[in-house]
Amino acid sequence: MTIDVKQYTRADFQTPQEVRWCPGCGDYTILASVQNFLAEMGVAREKHVFVSGIGCSSRFPYYVDTYGIHGIHGRAPAIASGVAAANPELTVWVITGDGDALSIGGNHLIHALRRNVNLKILLFNNQIYGLTKGQYSPTSEQGKRTKTSPMGSIDYPFNPVTLALGAEATFVARTLDMDRKHTEEILRAAADHRGSAFIEIYQNCNVFNDKAFQELTGRETRDENRIYLREGEPIVFGPNDEYGVQLGEFGARVVEVAKVGLDAIQVHNSKTPCPGVPFALSRLSHGPHGPTPLGIFRDVPRPVYEDLMVGQIEDAQAKKGTGDLADLLRSAGTWTVE
């Protein structure tokens, strides 16, 4: 990664465009967190590319003073994959939402993750279609009453972290829009990771789905519901760390530390190659209700798509002149490549 000698500030990554989200939207906080992190990162602005699809979050490229592409619905990972493959020196960010990424864009998302393209994917999850004025989304809870589900949604929602882990993503994390310090920590870890990095960000839509994350953000409930995953430490939470997470044949469950002892509490390790434990942790909650893990679920190395692609190209160039194109064109429907 090329480090620029210039010392940046957040203002260097702000554009003259008027930021046009609804007053009070969680997107403002995420934008500030990202701009602060980019300044701290110290990478030249022309080395960043922000690619988005369609949705409220997808206005992001207009508000970050880097290169950017406002794409089409659901296709941001596909566009970004092309950018990353064409120029591996760039830092490529994908900005998407729960509707954009998990509905029409579902296949593009999971294939970018399984290929391990060097993308940093930020999924803003507000559990609603905000841009189109309040329809239920792939992450809306069952029973959600909206304009398109007046009797309550009968769909079973996606768990984005579980989905990313199932797609064998090499970096998977979750954070909250209003926790800027934590968000910047996760962004820093994602930027350091070479390969696909997927971050789910719980983002409040105060117009169409206000207080959807109240259990995690309310002053009276947040301490007993936020489970921060800290590398190498027992997974404990609560106002006095009185609760913990235990794993076994039953999966992951919340227990009282005083009853089982600290030694029985799972020690967090995001570096383990097997995704089984992160997957179990992701199933502790299906949505932001009750004790919910926040932090890095998985962070493991794997060959990056662009590196493998470049390797194939170099191999082909090294063998240039050993084949006969005319013979190949005149051949039958099958052939042998040596």
Q: What is the average pLDDT across 65-91?
A: 96
Of the pLDDT bands very low, low, confident and very high (cuts 50, 70, 90), residue 286 is confident
Confidence check: pLDDT of 1 > 60: no
Instruction: Tell me if 99 is assigned to some domain.
Output: yes
- Please determine, for residue 113, whether its predicted confidence score (pLDDT) is greater than 60: yes
Rounded CA separation 149/208 (Å): 14
Of 26, 177, 50, residue with least CA distance to 120: 50
Q: Give dist(CA 283, CA 163) in Å, integer.
A: 11
Residue 7, judged by CB atoms within 10 A of its CB (0-12, 13-18, 19+), counts as: exposed
State the pTM of this model: 0.92
Assigned domain for 283 exists: no
Residue 224 lies in a domain: no
Residue 45 is assigned to a structural domain of this protein: yes
For residue 31, give the CATH number of its domain.
3.40.50.970
The reply to whether 1 falls in a domain is no
Cα angle for residues 85, 193, 307 (degrees, 5° grid)? 30
Within a domain: residue 187? yes
Residue 71's domain spans which residues?
10-212
pLDDT value at 335 more than 80 = no
Residue 31 lies inside a defined structural domain of this protein:
yes
User: How far is the C-alpha of 195 from the C-alpha of 329, rounded, in Å?
Assistant: 37
Residue 95 lies in a domain: yes
Q: How far apart are CA 119 and CA 199, in angstroms?
A: 11
Q: Which residue from 284, 161, 165 is spatially nearest to 227, judged by alpha carbons?
A: 284
Structural domains in the chain (count): 1
End-to-end CA distance of the chain: 35
